[in-house]
A = this chain, B = another copy of it.
Amino acid sequence: MLPAFDSERLAVTPSHRRITIKDLAARLDVSTATVSNAFNRPDQLSPALRDRILSEARAVGYTGPDARGRSLRTGRSRIIAVVLAESLTYNLNDAVASEFLAGVAEVVDGHGHTLLLLPARQGARLESASMADGFIVYGLVADPRMLEQFPSQKPLMAVDFDIAGHASVHIDNQFACLNIARHTLRQRPRRPAIINLRLTAEPCNGRIIDQPLYEESQTITRLRLNGFYEALAEHDIDPTTVPMWNIEENTYEVCAPVIAGILDLPDDERPDLLLCMSDRIALTVLTLAEQRGLRIPEDLRITGFDGIAEGQYRAPRLTTVRQDSVAKGRLAASMVLGLVPMKHHCLATQLMIGETSP
């Protein structure tokens, strides 16, 4: 199945000295400037000489000007860094984060730049950060000193949170949650409840009793809660009587045990409406509820947040709020590349009514 091979001939880290513009210049008896021009400014030398240089380059295996030297000289690397508050693994596997990154990638790539992924975990020293020409910080970075590592002369902007003095992209979290809760509360649920995402100041994966919560300025999920509370109050429900749970990480594995605990409550305690702060949470509710034979929406109404594909290409479809993460990524990239002015932006969301709460 695999090609026959001779392990001796497999390329490891080869030891040849790298070929440079200087070697090439020496071999051809021209100046390094001319070799450089052959690659970067065809109009600066005769076609004949250029051909001679390029073919000699090919012959000796010179693959073009080295990016290290070039970027030191020009001051630009054509690299844009995305600084990620959560782990790389989380960001790559989560649908919302992936779409955001895809939006960033599209614009960055379209402008001849590439993407460097920098996880901003606690205490990380990001040696290669200063390589980048600009920074997009995605999500609340736990350690603010992290941000001081980035060269202050380069463009930097924040997504889904704020960094003093810098541009940002947000969505209308509170308004969106007010709307979806308003919609579903019209059905007069008897036991509404809320499943929050990363809302407690200290880690907590389970029921929230008196744990302190993050402030509005710290996390967007607090704004989502405000929206839910506003709608509850409108419906004459005292929000403080509504049970709440907290989820620490937006993955099936982390959600599932908490949700199982909720669904396994006695019939007269089990919520008949779960307002969830993400589609991942809502879909996990749906899966576990179906396994338990609960009827959706008769026994249990479910709402999500995000509008990811997985919640829409299934039956029943999730009632949720769609946010356009791709657009968010595109806008962030456009700002950091200087294609649009640095500003504070707030993107609109859209209520999507599926069968989990018609």
Residue positions of A touching B, CB distance < 8 A: 1-3, 5, 7, 9-18, 61, 63-72, 77-79, 88-89, 92-93, 95, 98-99, 101-102, 105-106, 109, 112-119, 125-131, 148-156, 162, 165-168, 170, 172-175, 217, 223, 252, 284, 287, 290-291, 309-310, 313-315, 338, 341-344, 346
Contacts and interface: CB of A to CB of B under 8 A. Distances in A.
B131 A79 contact: yes
A11 B166 contact: yes
Contacts of A16: 152-153
Given A67-B127, A346-B1, A12 B223 contact: no
7 contacts: A2-B162, A3-B344, A5-B344, A10-B165, A17-B153, A79-B116, A88-B106
Contact of A10 (B72, B174, B342): B342
A315 B344 contact: no
Most interface-central of A16, A63, A125 (chain B CB within 10 A):
A63
A289 to B, nearest CB: 12
Contacts of A13: 153-155, 338
B131 A68 contact: yes
A47 to B, nearest CB: 20
A2 B150 contact: no
A150 B10 contact: no
A173 B102 CA distance: 29
A18 B153 contact: yes
A285 to B, nearest CB: 12
B68 A77 contact: yes
A221 to B, nearest CB: 14
Nearest to A3: B162
A131 B346 contact: no
B119 A109 contact: yes
Contact of A174 (B1, B15, B70): B1
A89 B326 CA distance: 10
B66 A10 contact: no
A302 to B, nearest CB: 15
A172 B1 contact: yes
B64 A89 contact: no
Nearest to A121: B109
Contacts of A89: 102, 105-106
B88 A93 contact: no
Contacts of A313: 252, 284, 287
A130 B93 contact: no
B11 A342 contact: yes
A78 B1 CA distance: 34
Contact of A77 (B12, B109, B126, B131): B131
A102 B88 contact: yes
